[in-house]
Each structure stands twice: as structure tokens, then as C-alpha cells.
């Protein structure tokens, strides 16, 4: 927990000092690290987000922002976001490209829409989320699937030698996990054998798959917090961004 708090504090400082002053449209991710970053941000500067247009990556985040007295939207603005910050499930650094896996909170498609349409995407994690190589922690790649294609998609993935399991047991309802888009979540293991880019290609080529939690090239920087109180900001090589935003990046 200490590393998460350190990461959130460092991310809040970075946002306040460098990213938010010139930002008009701010995207906010989903999950406990994002909430912690928000709390640290507003503790440091209560009016930091006043007057800015906020965009939430999930209904959960939308409701949380409203609880804080902040108005937000779920849609992606046509002019794009100036900055987007979020947490992640697992991160590795390969050839200066930050390889990120997201989707434990089942918001990966909306989060990817935000990241792709943001001029600057910041990921916030503690040291426990960092791997030398993705897959070493045994975590799956979350995949969003159209409900009518669930069985067919699972069969197709298993035929490729992948372990694919519809996610269930989420606690709030019986049956498989649903996204805000009414898609179903399938967890796919294979990062121990394939690169993130290769697994992404294998998964997303199957008709019925709506999207995955593979974020390769979507990120500009990652803040890592450590239990000893240190924090590090790792710059990333950004390769995936809406081309309409390329000429106006911060």
C-alpha cells in the first residue's frame, strides 16, 4: 500500500506542476490508484480541476467525480483530451515503449478510447505492478466480448492454444462480469509465451472480440512508487495516438 500512496502523491505533483495548468480537457481513469491520485491532487489544490472539462472512463469514476462535486462526461470529446491519467494491472518497459495491461476493473475499452484520444497519457502504479517481462506474474489479458459471441470466441481462443476463461464471481451479481458497454469479460492467459503485441493481434482478430486490455504504445509516461518512499517517472515511446491530435501535443 505504501508504494501506491507514493505513486499517487508523485503523480499528483506531476499533474499539478506540468500537466494540468494548460489542460482544458482531462480524462480520469478507473480503479483504486486513480481514486488515490485524485484525492492527493485535491488535497494539494482543492480547485485544481475546477473550470476544466472532465471525462470519466467508467460509470464508477463518473459517480465518484460527482460525489466530489465535479461534473464529468462519459463521451470522448471530438477535440481530444489534453491529459489522461489512470492505473494499470501490469507494466513492463521494453525498448522505451511502455507495455501496459489493463482491465481488472473491466473498463479497458473505454480506457483505451481515452488513452488513444489523449495528447498525454500518464499511468500510475506501485512497484508490485512492474515486471521485467509481461506474464511473469501470471496475470491474464482481459478481453471484452460481445455476449452473443461468447462461446464462439472462447472456443476460437482455446483452439489457438490459449487459456481463455469467462470472468465470474465478481460479487455484485451472478454470472459473468459485464462492462459498461454490456460486453462480457474473458480473461486470456498467454503472455508467458507471446509478446503483448502478438497476443493482442491473436485475440483481436477473432470476430466477436470488442477490445482488449493490451496497451502497447498508448502511454507517454509511467509513475512508479516504491515502498521505501522513492518514486520514478519513466518516459515512454508513444506510437498509438489519434492522428488528428499529433500536431497539437503538449
Give me the catalytic one of 17, 45, 71, 111.
111
Unique residue bearing C-alpha cell 481462443? 157
- Residue 86 confidence (pLDDT): 98
Phi, psi of 84 (to 5 degrees): -135, 130
Angle among Cα 212, 30, 18 to the nearest 5 degrees reads 105
111 is known as an active-site residue: yes
What does the DSSP 8-state code read for residue 202?
Answer: H
Which burial class, exposed, middle or buried, applies to 195 when counting CB atoms under 10 A from its CB (0-12, 13-18, 19+)? middle
Coil, helix or strand for 209? Answer: strand
For the chain, domain boundaries: 2-131+215-241, 141-209
Considering the domain delimited by 2-131+215-241, tell me its CATH architecture: 3-Layer(aba) Sandwich (3.40)
Cell of 225: 512508487
Element at 53 (helix H, strand E): strand 53-56
CB 231 within 8 A of CB 225: yes
CB 192 within 8 A of CB 136: yes
* Residue-level length of the chain: 250
Coil, helix or strand for 85? Answer: strand
- Residue 23 confidence (pLDDT): 97
| pLDDT, one tens digit for every residue, the chain (250 residues) | 799 999 999 999 999 999 999 999 999 999 999 999 999 999 999 999 999 999 999 999 999 999 999 999 999 999 999 999 999 999 999 877 899 999 999 999 999 999 999 999 999 999 999 999 999 999 999 999 999 999 999 999 999 999 999 999 887 778 899 999 999 999 999 999 999 999 999 999 999 999 999 999 999 999 999 999 999 999 999 999 999 997 665 5
Task: Give per-residue burial for 129-159: e unless 16+ CB within 10 Å, then b.
Answer: bbbeebbeeebbbbbbbbeebbeebbebbee
- Residue 248 confidence (pLDDT): 61
pTM of the model: 0.95
The CATH T-level fold of domain 141-209 is: Alpha-Beta Plaits (3.30.70)
Amino acid at each position: 500500500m505504501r508504494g501506491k500512496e507514493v505513486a499517487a502523491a508523485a503523480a499528483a505533483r506531476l499533474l499539478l506542476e506540468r500537466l494540468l495548468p494548460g489542460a482544458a480537457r482531462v480524462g480520469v481513469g478507473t480503479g483504486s490508484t486513480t481514486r488515490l491520485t485524485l484525492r492527493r491532487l485535491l488535497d494539494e489544490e482543492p480547485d485544481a480541476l475546477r473550470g476544466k472539462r472532465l471525462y470519466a472512463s467508467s460509470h464508477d469514476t463518473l459517480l465518484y467525480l460527482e460525489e466530489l462535486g465535479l461534473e464529468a462526461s462519459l463521451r470522448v470529446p471530438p477535440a481530444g483530451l489534453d491529459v489522461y491519467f489512470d492505473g494499470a494491472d501490469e507494466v513492463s518497459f521494453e525498448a522505451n515503449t511502455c507495455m501496459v495491461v489493463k482491465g481488472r476493473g473491466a473498463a479497458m475499452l473505454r480506457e483505451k478510447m481515452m488513452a488513444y484520444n489523449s495528447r498525454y497519457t500518464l499511468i500510475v502504479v506501485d512497484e508490485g505492478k512492474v515486471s521485467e517481462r509481461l506474464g511473469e506474474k501470471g496475470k491474464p489479458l482481459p478481453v471484452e466480448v460481445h455476449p452473443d459471441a461468447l462461446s464462439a470466441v472462447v472456443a476460437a481462443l482455446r483452439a489457438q492454444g490459449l487459456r481463455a476463461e469467462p470472468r465470474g464471481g465478481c460479487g455484485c451479481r451472478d454470472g459473468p462480469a459485464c462492462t459498461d458497454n454490456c460486453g462480457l469479460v474473458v480473461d486470456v492467459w498467454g503472455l508467458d509465451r507471446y509478446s503483448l503485441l502478438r497476443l493482442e493481434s491473436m485475440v483481436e482478430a477473432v470476430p466477436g472480440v470488442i477490445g482488449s486490455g493490451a496497451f502497447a504504445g498508448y502511454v507517454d509516461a509511467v509513475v512508479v512508487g516504491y515502498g521505501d518512499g522513492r518514486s520514478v517517472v519513466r518516459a515512454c515511446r508513444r506510437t498509438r495516438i489519434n492522428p488528428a491530435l499529433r500536431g497539437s501535443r503538449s
